[in-house]
Structure 1
Amino acid sequence: MQFFRDRINAMQGYKPGEQPPPGSNIIKLNTNENPYPPSPAALQVLQDLSGELLRRYPDPTAKPFREAASKALGIPADWILVGNGSDDLLTMILRACAEPGRRVVYPAPTYVLYRTLTQIQDAEFVELPYGEEYDLPVEELIAANGAVTFIASPNSPSGTLVPNALLEKLAAGLSGLLVIDEAYVDFAESDALELVEKYDNVIVLRTLSKGYSLAGLRLGFGIGNPALLNGLMKVKDSYNVDAIACAVGAAAIADQPHKIANAEKVKASRAKLAEDLKQLGFQIGPSQANFLLVRPPHGNAEEIYLKLKEQGILVRYFNQPQLQDKLRITVGTDVQNQKLVQLLSQ
């Protein structure tokens, strides 16, 4: 096709995880959705939506959500930028900061969309390999001198959390923007919000897809210095967050007890699933997310992925370096997890 830029013709697009048809009996443990329902308060807002709310354009800054998030998290509202999922924030950041001649840097393996969005901007990407234990290569990241440096913490697909001391060392050593992607932070022991106040080159990204059980809503947000967010505002779509997502998301983030209770259930199930898989001979890495990265006893990850798929269970297989012999398994309900373990034991 001659319609597109050479870069677009040459690149591969991001490929999301498999999505079974609605209402199917497939057990979906491949894209890290929360297995429990959203907040009843959020669902009530959805049921009560008025036609007038839909007739008009939404608030261009998603002010109702920013105010609810400010109250829930103890962050000033003008330190919050809202997006159509946290992927929208990633797009804004690279629109604003990446171009030919500017580097985007991140440790790998990690979220593949970082590479895809960088390629769209025709910028250079530098992937620095994690060590065997997913130790962060801090000095190498600093030396790479990125205009943008991405750190997913907890990381996907490993589930590992980067200590704040290492993130702070990175923030202090970088001249460019440090993006700390905390999509899975609701299942972790700590977060990096304290760095946002200390460093004006740090932005922390959050999503309602995981901890709040709202992957279908598409709502995420960034937390950073207002001067930094003002630059990103210049490149965001005019009405990037719709009125429904803003209203439902505001109710969801206000209901912290519901989110915390669901996260605790997921963490308990994560520990049980890890122990059950160890009993079957799987090697399990430490996880502070709502999934496990596991190596089957014989390393035959792709074979197991295909056999599970035949039996109606989807898990994630990545055919890429450091991951060919591993599977990423979302933590489901205890019933779903036991079905998985039973099939694997066969």
Structure 2
Amino acid sequence: MTSFFRPNIDTMAGYTPGEQPKPGTPIIKLNTNENPYPPAPGAIAVLRNLDSEWLRRYPDPYANEFRQAVSEAIGVPRDWVIVGNGSDELLNVLMRACVEGDRKVAYPMPTYVLYRTLSEMQPAKVIEIPYSADFRLPTAALLQENAALTCIATPNSPSGHAVPLAELRQLAAGLTGVLAIDEAYVDFADETALPLVEEFEHVIIIRTLSKGYSLAGLRLGFGIAQPKLLAGLFKVKDSYNIDAIACHVGAAAMRDQAYKNACAQKVKEARSQLLIDLKNLSFRVWNSQANFLLAQPPQNNAEALYLALKERGILVRYFKQPGLDDKLRITIGTEEQNRLLVEALIHLV
């Protein structure tokens, strides 16, 4: 039977998102790294005072209100900001603009699996370089590949480790292609790679409002790079990729950095406590600068434990792939959610 699709689409495996229970389902959801706290009050107020005119007209194609809010919050020029329908769209735009055929995409593994999916969609030549056991960045190997696009998630998922700024600077200095630094979890980290954008015209920082700002359902992300790099990306993005509601809500959230930082601090404190609780249950737990922990059960029975927790109404993330199939990735919840998780684990390990 003749296929409808390009050969690479036929052979690739699509990205598998984390389980999303129906709204109102009585479940503790610790599997997709959502923030357990509500969005900023100002963001909610925008929704409550929704102007129907926003729906009748096309939105600003550059989401300039949101770009201005990013500029003021982070201290970068507005024309150094590009806005996407989630940071995932910006990754897609980068792939479409920078790679195809023999133009390579390189990244260390394990990391965000969407990098592979987007590369295969082009298609582009994918170079996956294993992390060492201690998750040191394989800088020399990445420099040797010198790919058209190199992607580094820091803090990384699912490990939670952050790549030191000095190592990222060394990598940027040696690459001639684009270096995309994915900072989806930066709001829970100790350091940002933002200074590298000023130093290197081929570096882009990618961020999202899904994690630190509690707006995963809004689908809003942004990239920060010098205008020379952004000029090519603007050619590729959809004309009206950000809807008007997302632009206004996101701008309100971005303007309330104090609220975001307070919620992030609660997550970091809960992360420290959950790490202790899991270690007390003989889990091996990796230090994390994200809003989740990577944990290895004492009996290496991660899949069975994931299923047993699911039966008890608690969702965590299990990856059935080499190097991760004996581990669980656990999103940091509220104090109450984390307590219920630990109580369930006491009876299961």
- Taking the aligned partners of 1:224 and 1:76, their CA distance within structure 2 comes to 10
Whether 1:283 and 2:288 are equivalent positions in the alignment is: no
Q: For 1:309-324, what aligned pairs fall within 5 Å after superposition?
A: 309-324=310-325
Whether 1:198 and 2:184 are equivalent positions in the alignment is: no
| Superposed CA offset, 1:187-217 (max 9, x none) | 0001000000000110000000000000000
- Taking the aligned partners of 1:28 and 1:239, their CA distance within structure 2 comes to 32
Structure 1: 4+ residue segments shifted above 2 A:
none
| Superposed CA offset, 1:207-260 (max 9, x none) | 000000000000000000011001100000010000000000000000000000
Number of the residue aligned with 1:163: 164
Aligned-residue sequence identity (percent) comes to 62
| Superposed CA offset, 1:60-83 (max 9, x none) | 000000001101111100000000
Whether 1:91 and 2:106 are equivalent positions in the alignment is: no
Deviation at 1:313, TM superposition (A): 0.4
Number of the residue aligned with 1:37: 38
| Letter in structure 2 aligned against 1:194 | P
SS in 2 for 1:81: strand
SS in 1 for 2:310: helix
Q: For 1:126-275, what aligned pairs fall within 5 Å after superposition?
A: 126-275=127-276
| Letter in structure 2 aligned against 1:148 | L
Number of the residue aligned with 1:302: 303
Equivalenced residues, count:
346
Number of the residue aligned with 2:113: 112
TM-score of the two chains, using structure 1 as the length reference: 0.99
- Taking the aligned partners of 1:68 and 1:174, their CA distance within structure 2 comes to 31
Deviation at 1:298, TM superposition (A): 1.0
- Taking the aligned partners of 1:308 and 1:334, their CA distance within structure 2 comes to 18
Deviation at 1:339, TM superposition (A): 0.4
Number of the residue aligned with 2:27: 26
- Taking the aligned partners of 2:163 and 2:71, their CA distance within structure 1 comes to 25
SS in 2 for 1:216: helix
- Taking the aligned partners of 1:123 and 1:40, their CA distance within structure 2 comes to 43
SS in 2 for 1:258: helix
Deviation at 1:323, TM superposition (A): 0.6
- Taking the aligned partners of 1:147 and 1:158, their CA distance within structure 2 comes to 25
| Letter in structure 2 aligned against 1:265 | K
Deviation at 1:53, TM superposition (A): 1.3
- Taking the aligned partners of 1:81 and 1:208, their CA distance within structure 2 comes to 14
Deviation at 1:300, TM superposition (A): 0.7
- Taking the aligned partners of 1:108 and 1:249, their CA distance within structure 2 comes to 31
- Taking the aligned partners of 1:133 and 1:340, their CA distance within structure 2 comes to 27
- Taking the aligned partners of 2:145 and 2:316, their CA distance within structure 1 comes to 34
- Taking the aligned partners of 1:12 and 1:226, their CA distance within structure 2 comes to 34
Deviation at 1:144, TM superposition (A): 1.2
Aligned-residue Cα RMSD (Å) equals: 0.6
SS in 2 for 1:234: helix
- Taking the aligned partners of 2:195 and 2:174, their CA distance within structure 1 comes to 17
- Taking the aligned partners of 2:3 and 2:111, their CA distance within structure 1 comes to 32
SS in 1 for 2:216: coil
Whether 1:82 and 2:106 are equivalent positions in the alignment is: no
TM-score of the two chains, using structure 2 as the length reference: 0.99
SS in 2 for 1:24: coil
SS in 1 for 2:102: coil
SS in 1 for 2:206: strand
Number of the residue aligned with 2:293: 292
